Amino acid sequence: MGSRCSARGAPRLNFAVRALALGNDSVVEGIEVVVVSGTGATYLPAGRVARMTTTPDGPLADEPEARPTSPEEAVLQEAEAVLEQALPGAEAQLEVLDAGRRLLLVHAHPDDETINNGVTMARYVAEGAQVTLVTCTLGEEGEVLVPELAHLAADQDDALGRHRVGELAAAMEALGVSDHRFLGDAGRYRDSGMMGLPSNDRPDAFWQADLDEAAGLLVEVLREKRPQVLVTYDENGGYGHPDHIQAHRVAMRATELAADPAFGSGAAWAVSKVYWNAIPESFMREGLRRMRQAGDTTFFEGVDPDGEIPMVIPDELVTTAVEALEHVDAKLAAMRAHATQITVDGPFFALSNNLGNEAWGVECYRLVRGEPGTERDENGRETDLFAGLD
């Protein structure tokens, strides 16, 4: 809060004020809030909150600084003092409650969010929802696909993590996501590498993290951002990567703990719907079939479209399909931002070229906690993660 109620005279100040009546008093506990409107000031009891945006009515220059000369002006100055004291701590929470729909995603490495949920994130940002991404590691053990950057790899300079922080930021910019953070801050947990590698055993590897400690860090975010919807991986982490499995465990544990008033500090928060990322079996089979017909052998190399298919779940378990074709370009831009991990001439982009926008414009989910909405598409699936909540 800046100094807006200057001693320049109340009539010059024009305040746009929005007062929110909040159901949960704990958010504003102990805060007395002042609503200032026009030239007057009104005090509201704690439990009602005002958020102010101010527009000075005309330029404030050319006037000597004056002491308060009227009771009205004195009230405005007092209002300013109260607001400046009261709001800094509460402001973040007010911002949170400003967005009706709040989505939080938990991922293992930078790039997982874009591949799994790129159009979903872009769609909800565009619709005005609050979208928060929590990434658990920096992806230090990733393969580097850009030859000039090969020296960043873990077995050379071991500087890939720092580089991927920048890639993630660029990807989130492409999707319009401004709130992205690392679990317990960047570098707290290290990429464990693929299952069975010695990097799994490093004490700082996410795979070695104490579950409740890591979940406790996520509880803080859940209680701050208060998402109605949480998205993470299934218990196999989609494809068995230790960090994906761990991200799943941490997300599920944190969801439980956040709702428990006896745990930790801050007001308890119960997430209404939990989704796991899902790839329907038929979708992958069809995609593979068309890729092979188009002559591609590198996408899921060696996998037969009619044989056993990895990473998928039976179609009937998929509850939700979020379609957002208009955000495919943003998703592809975000993929390009993850340049060390995804090559533009690689299978992901070939998939897009061969299958068209639907390959990337539809993202599927399995609802595992909460009630599905009643509106369904032709496959009997929800089309909105927030269905039934509004």
Q: Which residues bind Zn ion (CB under 5 A)?
A: 108-109, 112
190: exposed, middle or buried (Cβ count in 10 Å: 0-12, 13-18, 19+): buried
Smallest gap, in angstroms, from Cβ of residue 241 to Zn ion? 6
Smallest gap, in angstroms, from Cβ of residue 329 to Zn ion? 23
Q: How far apart are CA 354 and CA 69, in angstroms?
A: 73
User: What are the structure tokens assigned to 66, written together?
Assistant: 């004056």
User: What are the structure tokens assigned to 221, written together?
Assistant: 């975010």
Q: Which is nearer to Zn ion, 73 or 112 (CB)?
A: 112
The DSSP code for 174 is H
Other CB atoms within 10 Å distance of the CB of residue 208: 15
Q: Which is nearer to Zn ion, 242 or 370 (CB)?
A: 242
Q: How far apart are CA 200 and CA 193, in angstroms?
A: 6
User: What are the structure tokens assigned to 55, written together?
Assistant: 């527009």
Smallest gap, in angstroms, from Cβ of residue 309 to Zn ion? 19
Of all residues in the shown chain, the one whose CB is closest to Zn ion is: 109
**Per-residue b or e along 267-282, where b marks 16 or more CB atoms closer than 10 Å to that residue's CB:** ebbebebbbbbbbbbe
| Region label for 347, one of left (φ > 0), alpha (ψ between -120 and 50) or beta (otherwise) | alpha
Smallest gap, in angstroms, from Cβ of residue 244 to Zn ion? 6
Smallest gap, in angstroms, from Cβ of residue 154 to Zn ion? 15
Q: How far apart are CA 333 and CA 190, in angstroms?
A: 26
**DSSP helix/strand/coil, 373:** coil
- Our CA angle for 143, 146, 147, nearest 5°, is 100
Smallest gap, in angstroms, from Cβ of residue 246 to Zn ion? 11
Q: Indicate the pairing of strand 40-44 with strand 33-37.
A: antiparallel
The DSSP code for 374 is S
Q: Which is nearer to Zn ion, 49 or 138 (CB)?
A: 138
Q: Which is nearer to Zn ion, 93 or 277 (CB)?
A: 277
Q: Which is nearer to Zn ion, 73 or 243 (CB)?
A: 243
Reference 164, options 235, 231, 107; nearest CA is 107
Q: Which is nearer to Zn ion, 140 or 382 (CB)?
A: 140
Q: Which is nearer to Zn ion, 50 or 172 (CB)?
A: 172
Smallest gap, in angstroms, from Cβ of residue 247 to Zn ion? 8
